[in-house]
Amino acid sequence: MRPGNPRVLGATEQFISSNRFAFQNSLANTSEEKANPWLLLNRDLDQGVVPVIADANSMTYVLHKKLGDELVLARNEGPVRVRFVGALADSVFQSELIMSEKNFLRLFPDQPGYRFF
């Protein structure tokens, strides 16, 4: 993972509702979010901030961030602010940030190929 600009993936609604992978921690408030922290990707955050989920170890040791912290991602159209809302436990996503497919398509319309799962 490059600390300044990690790879971003988009999670489809089907993936979000499937509730896969174990979470180490999250900013879940509602019983629905606590049962499925992936739902946090659909939150509408203040001032255009986009919710993301990352591997707990990558977030802590590579990016030096914690839940609730923000990171600014560079892109051609201008910077994007993301906020860490969930931390995956020992995941295969050690070099990625995961956001909703809706946000991904809005923010990265020119990405070649698909970065969805």
CB 37 within 8 A of CB 86: yes
**What is the secondary structure of 71-115 as a DSSP string?**
EEEP-TT--EEEEEEEEESS-S-TTEEEEEHHHHHHH-TT-SS--
Nearest to 81 by CA among 44, 50, 45: 50
Taking only the tens place, the pLDDT of each residue in 18-39 is 999 999 999 999 999 999 999 9
The percentage of the chain sitting over the pLDDT mark of 70, rounded to a whole number, equals 90
DSSP-derived secondary structure letter, 61: I
pLDDT at 101 over 70: yes
Could you tell me the two tokens for 49? 């901030």
Supply the pLDDT for residue 116. Answer: 55
Rounded to whole angstroms, the Cα distance separating 70 from 14 reads 26
Q: Which residues of 83-104 are buried (b: 16+ CB within 10 A; e: fewer)?
A: bbbbbbeebebbebbbbbbebb
* pTM over 0.85, yes/no: yes
